[in-house]
Structure 1
Amino acid sequence: MKTNLFPAIKLTAITLIFFAGVYTIIIWGIAQLAPNHGNGQVVMQNGKKYYANVGQTFTEDKYFNSRPSAVDYNAAGSGGSNKAPSNPEYLQTVQARIDTFLVHNPEVKKQDIPVELVTASGSGLDPDISPNAALIQLKRVAKTRNVSEQNIQKLIEENTEAPLLGLLGPAKVNVLKLNMALDQVK
């Protein structure tokens, strides 16, 4: 028993010290080299602080909708849904999102709705949508704000981030930054 117990206790102590102490300090040190020292992408507007790397909820027609969140945009509880795509409750939730989207965007056909506008991401906190998901909302936002569609489309283009190094990942639009830019349009 001694031959197994003491090595197990030593291994447990070593891994505890490494992962709770050394590894944590290494990751913290790397974060200090990042912009904003690992505190996220902070955006200030009108004296308010927002985090551009965490999804936000926008429900008014004058704003672009974000991707739905399985955790109600609570960054303290990041996580997706455990429901399978065949789960009746999940299908009901997605259908309700589709119905709500179509009420606010009557010119859009159901089959044209980008999937990210009716399904939550794995973290439930995705701050980005595809350029297509932004463009499909363009008419509603332009009409509500009484701004030309060309001006809104230009804002979408200005707020579209290309794939990393031109080939890693898809093009994306940060919804918070886009909606903040919208508020600057007179």
Structure 2
Amino acid sequence: MSNHTDQLRSGRTSLLIAIRAGVTFIVLCGLLYPLLCTGLAGLLMPNQAGGSLLKNGNGDVVGSELIGQKFTDPAYFHGRVSSIGYKADASGSNNYAPSNPDLLARTRASIDEWKQNNPEVPIEQLPIALISNSGSGLDPHITPESAYVQVPRISSLTNLTEEQLHSLVKAHTEDRDLGLFGEPRVNVLKLNMALQEMISRS
């Protein structure tokens, strides 16, 4: 009888230890640690912690520098194709093979749209990045070449010269991280915000 009682007590003790340990780790790892990380991020990197939001001259938020947007106005620079419509809650893309009929149809449609909007630029000069989806579908950047090739169209629709637009793209070209990682790139939203200011001043 006493042996059975000892086993019950031992079982209760083990259960209480497990419960206390579980509650402790829930509080530490599920509450205190995230709050600490969030607090440090807000203190050390307030812009990034707040979503890297960009505001126009009126102080209105126009987007995040981390998430691409779809620009349809031909007078502005266009970003990469996004099969998810740049919806941040659905990051990813269809893992289509090059022979997939849906991918081929979408690519042909992108090429046709390019030809229609950019008659001055030979199709051979169309960068593959402008008609291909990024891995996340949210890429806010394009290559400098993808920006330069759009200059003739934008110049013809605005009062800006191609030289002005080339200088604008060059000024907004970001170098490789630490000079080593990644490729030179241009943030499309930042570029279009600067373009809008330039148009308003012209």
Q: Normalising TM by the smaller chain, what interval? A: 0.7 to 0.9
Which residue matches 2:51? 40
TM-score by length of 1: 0.84
1:95, 1:55 → 2: CA distance? 22
C-alpha displacement at 1:111, in angstroms? 2.6
Which residue matches 2:131? 118
Q: Among 71, 80, 98, which residue is 2:93 paired with?
A: 80
Return the letter of the residue paired with 1:31. A
Identical pairs, percent: 40
Unaligned residue ranges in structure 1 (runs of 5+): 1-9
Equivalent residues in 2 for 1:163-174, closer than 5 Å: 163-174=176-187
Unaligned residue ranges in structure 2 (runs of 5+): 1-17
Does structure 1 residue 139 correspond to structure 2 residue 152? Answer: yes
Q: Among 25, 31, 44, which residue is 2:41 paired with?
A: 31
Which residue matches 1:101? 114
What is the number of equivalent residue pairs in this alignment? 175
1:132, 1:35 → 2: CA distance? 32
Spell out structure 1 runs of 4+ moving beyond 3 A: 16-31
Does structure 1 residue 153 correspond to structure 2 residue 166? Answer: yes
1:96, 1:19 → 2: CA distance? 49
1:19, 1:94 → 2: CA distance? 46
Q: Please list the CA deviations of residues 111-162 of structure 1 after superposition, one character each: whole Å capped at 9, or x if unmatched.
A: 3211111011111110000000000001001111121110111100111111
C-alpha displacement at 1:31, in angstroms? 3.2
CA RMSD of aligned residues (A): 2.2
Deviates further, 37-46 or 113-122? 37-46
1:145, 1:117 → 2: CA distance? 22
C-alpha displacement at 1:94, in angstroms? 0.9
1:170, 1:135 → 2: CA distance? 16
Structure number, greater radius of gyration: 2
TM-score by length of 2: 0.77
1:119, 1:60 → 2: CA distance? 20
Call closer, same or farther: CA 1:158–1:97 in 2, change over 3 Å. Answer: same
